[in-house]
Amino acid sequence: MSYASFVIQLLNGLAAASSLFLVSAGLSLIFGVTRIVNFAHGSLYMLGLYGAYSLIEALGRTPLGFWSAVILAALAVGLVGVVIEVVVLRRIYRAPELFQLLATFAIVLVIKDVALAVWGSEDLVGPRAPGLAFPVEILGRRIPAYDLLLIVIGPVVLAAMWLLLARTRWGALVRAATQDREMVGALGVDQARLFTSVFFVGAVLAGLGGALQIPREPANLDLDLSVIADAFVVTVVGGLGSLGGAFLAAVLIGVAKAFCIGFGFSKLTLVVEFVIMGLVLVMRPYGLLGKPPATARFGEPAPPLQPPRRWPVVAWLVAFAVVPLLGDRYITVLMTDIACFALFAVSLHFIMGPAGMVSFGHAAYFGLGAYAGALLFKKAGLPMELALVLAPFVAGLFAVVYGWFCVRLSGVYLAMLTLAFAQISWSVVFQWDELTAGSNGLVGVWPSMWLSGKPAYYYMTLALCGLGIALLWRALFSPFGYVLRAGRDSPLRAEAIGIDLRAFQWAAFVLAGTLAGLAGAVFAFSKGSISPSSVSIAQSTDGLVMVLLGGVETLTGPVVGAAIFTWLRDTLARETEFWRAALGVVILLIVIVFPQGLVGGLKALYARWRPA
Amino acid sequence: MLRVTDLHAFYGRAHILHGVSLEANAGEVVALLGRNGAGKTTAMKAIMGLVPPARGEVAFAGARIDRLPPYRIARMGLGYVPEERRIFTELSVMENLEVGRQAARRGAPTWNADRLFKLFPNLGRMRERPGGRMSGGEQQMLTIARTLMGNPKCVLLDEPSEGLAPIIVHEMAESIRTLKGEGLSVLLCEQNLRFCEAIADRAYIIEKGQIRFGGTMADLAANASLREQYLSV
């Protein structure tokens, strides 16, 4: 590597880091004050990029038009943030934290479809920055002047944010609310207005990050989730709530990615940031400049779990069993999907509910189980039955490795690390053409003859997924399950009575991963094919939505959530092109009306009416 | 100034306050005495709206406040000083005061940082120190000063003497007398009877969420069996 190319890649990396820093700073600011992990932050970035594109078209490709467009786009995205805060989030600040997460997922869906409706599905390539399109020669190489400007913008925004937070009353209120928002309210500060203003600033930063990228990156509909994953990584590597940390992390990751591209390892770009995150978190569990959270204020403790009563379960099983007798092929296929996703959701619930470890990357085990089944069958030539039985254990092995790292962390940091492992798995699957056929996926993954009928396969699915769910539920009411719940509610006390909490959490992680793998393998053979989307962030968020929709505090919630989500998605997708937005709106309504999830909400209604 | 009538409050499912009624008149220092777990802190939080009152009325300066959010109550001129102090540890002394600042209010003493540093001279010597690096006594003074920055007409003081060295308790009593001299009304929770005897005009005794006694400090001083029954440990 020559000195010149080193410098050029460094500059490339620094230019990319600016936008990454802006969006992460906004995410971190919002999280600090409102405790909401805003999954829609990547969507706001995407809107900034699209908005800048349209505004430049409207205002003209002159320097004045360009910069007005960038600033107006950022401010408009800020207003979108205000609308989100006022219309949705303000109503659910008292709801459990995870439910707010569900609401932001729904917003991701809505924004994606709004963008689809307004800007279409084609990538939109913006103009180069007027007046700054000329290249500058550095060490004999050319680099766009605009990139040099971007390198300056990052630190300028960092300084501006620092001044705002350290030198203004607003900044003092924000920092105070980050620590103890109830006390800030008791001192006469209107939290609602403070939160709205924080959302505005956070959204402007995301919008600006997106708008500034218009000369470098085409606007496209996949940016929302890819940017949010990047922003999570940056925030966590830097340390939640630390602006300086976010800047450092953005530079580290931007530069690392640039070096990967510059030196011909472009395949590594998808993985490198997650490797950095894994390394940082294992060495510094709160990120580079982060501190352990000062006061973790949780909401009310989760109510004790009730074991399912026998008769309703039997009734449900009978109802499930008669489905193929209806003779409707579509319903049988739908019910097969629901059974797979129910096991997937129950296995996710197992670790995030009773064990208290929220996973943003549970699709890793579902997808790896699916791929393991398909590969054992197609490449290793095993009989389908054997492949199906072995596949969950392959997923379980990955859970052994990933889980070892994850259980060392807790809370948001743990969630982000699970996301990182899922994203690493996804990019390996996506890029390893020889083994996994890359983005095309594997086809011809069909079950054996005796299972080839839809009803036969459905019964097998019902049996395997039912057993898996029964096993997980049984475990929750064994001493193992009690230990997990004790560890969730008071980790220190659990350890003080001699429980090796990490070992139990690790075991729970592996058990849940194995059964998610079973769900994936059963799913793969039911479809006859498998694609990388089964390992994707979208699949992970689907699982989260299922669990949260049903209610994380109930046992049967995830099953109900999986059924309703799968059915709704299927039905809406057949009715309208904009099914995501429709689904998002339905989820938002549920979130606002039933803040404990569907099953929890119905139980609360029942409890209220019963004495009357 | 502050009138509480038949106040009930719950923590989750636990019924903590069973119909508390009490009153603090303008310019008065009133003590709410009781043992640990008697319901003192919950009463304060329920008045402030931090624990939603389930039943009953709270009136402040002639208006009902029992359905208002805490920030609205604070903006009407009712200040709250929590027992755990809840200093913003990352913020400096000056910034802590800034968070509490509100506009001047008719009928209430007006405070600024310089006046508060006269009241609590220790604070004036550590203006830029982060709240997290202060002693317990300094934090207690800062939390009172922070609430005073809101120029309240009345303050709720939750156990101001708790955990303080005897000499600091003495200074604290002196400060509260100064506040009374400024015309501020004070309702304070205490377990420390001697501290109250030094500063309070009247007292209530609370036990198991109910008021068992209300009267002047002299009445309480004259009634040994009352003190024995509800206050001695």
DSSP letters of A451-491?
G-SHHHHHHHHHHHHHHHHHHHHHHHTSHHHHHHHHHHH-H
Number of cross-chain residue pairs from A and B with Cβ atoms under 8 Å apart: 60
Cβ density class A205-230: b for 16+ within 10 Å, e for less: bbbbbbbbbbbbbebbbebbbbbbbb
Say yes or no for a CB contact (<8 Å) between A186 and B12: no
Mutation target for B interface from A180, A181, A184, A187: give the one with most B CBs within 10 A.
A187
Q: Indicate the DSSP class of residue B185.
A: E
- pLDDT tens-digit profile of B30-74? 999 998 888 999 999 999 999 989 999 999 999 999 999 999 999
Structural domain count, chain B: 1
- The answer to whether residue A183 neighbours chain B at the CB level (below 8 Å) is yes
Quick one: what percent of chain B has pLDDT higher than 90?
77
Once rounded to an integer, what is the mean pLDDT over residues A180-188? 93
Q: How confident is the model at residue B98 (pLDDT cuts 50, 70, 90)?
A: very high
Q: What is the mean pLDDT of residues A72-88?
A: 96
* 3-state SS, residue A13: helix
- Give the separation between CA A349 and CA A355, rounded to whole angstroms: 9
Cβ neighbours of residue A119 closer than 8 Å, sequence gap 6 or more: A50, A53, A54, A219
Render pLDDT for A442-457 as a digit per residue (tens, 0 to 9).
888 888 888 888 888 9
Looking at the complex, report in whole angstroms how far the Cα of residue B78 sits from the nearest Cα belonging to chain A.
9
Query: For A312-345, how does the pLDDT look when each residue is reduced to its tens digit (9 = 90+)?
Result: 888 888 888 888 888 788 888 899 999 999 999 9
Q: What are the pLDDT digits (tens) for A456-477?
A: 899 999 999 999 999 999 999 9
Of A33-37, A596-600, B95-99, B126-130, minimum mean pLDDT range: A596-600
Extract the tokens encoding A12: 């490339």
What confidence tier does A6 reach under pLDDT thresholds 50, 70, 90? confident
Mean pLDDT, residues B154-176 taken together = 91
With contacts defined as CB-CB under 8 Å, which chain A residues touch B96?
176
| The pLDDT value given to residue A293 | 62
pLDDT of residue A99: 78
A101-110, A202-211, A244-253, A302-311: least confident range = A302-311
In this structure, what token pair is assigned to residue A442?
């594997």
Determine the pLDDT at residue A298: 46
Give B206's strand partners.
Answer: B211
Q: CA of B219 to nearest chain A CA: how many angstroms apart?
A: 34
B48/A186 Cβ within 8 A: yes
Asked if B82 and A183 come within 8 Å (Cβ–Cβ), the reply is yes
- Cα(A520)–Cα(A395) distance, integer angstroms: 9
Query: Is the pLDDT confidence value at A382 over 50?
Result: yes
Kindly list the residues from chain A whose CB atom is less than 8 angstroms away from the CB atom of residue B86. 180, 183
Cβ contact, residue pair B150, A173, below 8 Å: no
Selection from A316, A122, A135 nearest residue A219 by Cα: A122
Q: What is the dihedral of CA B39, B40, B43, B45, to 10 degrees?
A: -110
User: Cβ of B100 and A188 within 8 Å?
Assistant: yes
Which residue out of B86, B97, B111 would a mutagenesis test of the A interface target, given it has the greatest number of A Cβ atoms within 10 Å?
B86
Q: How far does CA A293 lie from the centroid of its chain?
A: 21
Residue B32's SS3 state is strand
> A146-160, A264-278, B87-101, B162-176: which range is least confident on average?
A264-278
B104: left (phi over 0), alpha (psi -120 to 50) or beta: beta
The arithmetic mean of pLDDT across residues A373-379, rounded, is 92
**What are the structural domains of chain A?**
18-222 (no CATH), 310-609 (1.10.3470)
Q: What are phi and psi of B24, to 5 degrees?
A: -130, 125
Nearest chain B residue to A300, by CA: B12
- Asked which of A108-122, A417-431, B96-110 is least confident by mean pLDDT, the reply is A417-431
Give residue B73's pLDDT: 96
Query: Is A207 a residue whose pLDDT tops 90?
Result: yes
pLDDT at A294 over 70: no
Using the predicted structure, report yes or no on whether residue A594 has a pLDDT greater than 70: yes
B173: tokens are: 């009593």
Distance separating alpha carbons of residues A226 and A208, to the nearest angstrom: 17
Which of A186-190, A239-243, B84-88, B144-148 is the least confident region?
Answer: A239-243
Our CA-based measurement puts residue A94 at a distance from the nearest CA of chain B, in whole angstroms, of 13
Our CA-based measurement puts residue B176 at a distance from the nearest CA of chain A, in whole angstroms, of 19
Backbone angles phi, psi at B9, to 5 degrees: -150, 150
* Closest CA of chain B from A293, distance in Å: 12
CB contact under 8 A, B91 and A172: yes
Report the gap between the CA of A505 and the closest CA in chain B (Å): 29
Q: What is the mean pLDDT of residues A427-434?
A: 86
Residue B189 exposed, middle or buried by CB count within 10 Å (0-12, 13-18, 19+) = buried
Domain harbouring B211, CATH code:
3.40.50.300
Average pLDDT, chain A: 88
- The reply to whether residue B150 touches residue A188, judged by beta carbons under 8 angstroms, is yes
**pLDDT confidence of residue A611:** 55
> Which pLDDT belongs to residue A83?
96
Nearest CA in chain A to B75: A188
Confidence of residue A230 (pLDDT cuts 50, 70, 90): confident
A278 close to A189: Cβ distance less than 8 angstroms: no
Judged against a pLDDT cut of 70, whether residue A300 lies above it is answered with: no
The stretch A499-513 carries a mean pLDDT of: 94
Residues B82 and B62: beta-carbon distance below 8 Å: no
pLDDT at A551: 81
How far is the C-alpha of A376 from the C-alpha of A383, rounded, in Å?
8
- Map A357-425 to HEC letters: CCCCCCHHHHHHHHHHHHHHHHCCCCCHHHHHHHHHHHHHHHHHHHHHHHCCCCHHHHHHHHHHHHHHH
DSSP secondary structure, A126-159, as one string? PPPPTT--SEEEETTEEEEHHHHHHHHHHHHHHH
Å from A189 to nearest chain B CA?
A: 6
Q: Is A172 on the interface with B (CB under 8 A)?
A: yes
Q: What are phi and psi of B206, to 5 degrees?
A: -115, 140
Distance from CA of B151 to the nearest CA of A (A): 11
pLDDT of residue A306: 78
CB contact under 8 A, A182 and B50: yes
Position A596 scores a pLDDT of: 67
Residue of B80, B88, B151 to mutate for A, most A C-beta atoms under 10 A: B88
Determine whether the interchain pair B82/A185 forms a contact, defined as Cβ–Cβ distance below 8 Å.
no
pTM of the predicted model as reported, rounded to 2 decimal places: 0.87
Domain of residue B218 covers: 2-230
Interface of B with A (CB under 8 A): 12, 48, 50, 69-71, 74-75, 80, 82, 86, 88-91, 95-96, 98-102, 146-147, 150
Report CB contact under 8 Å: A175, B91.
yes
Average pLDDT, chain B: 92
- What is the ipTM score, two decimals? 0.94
Report pLDDT for A133: 82
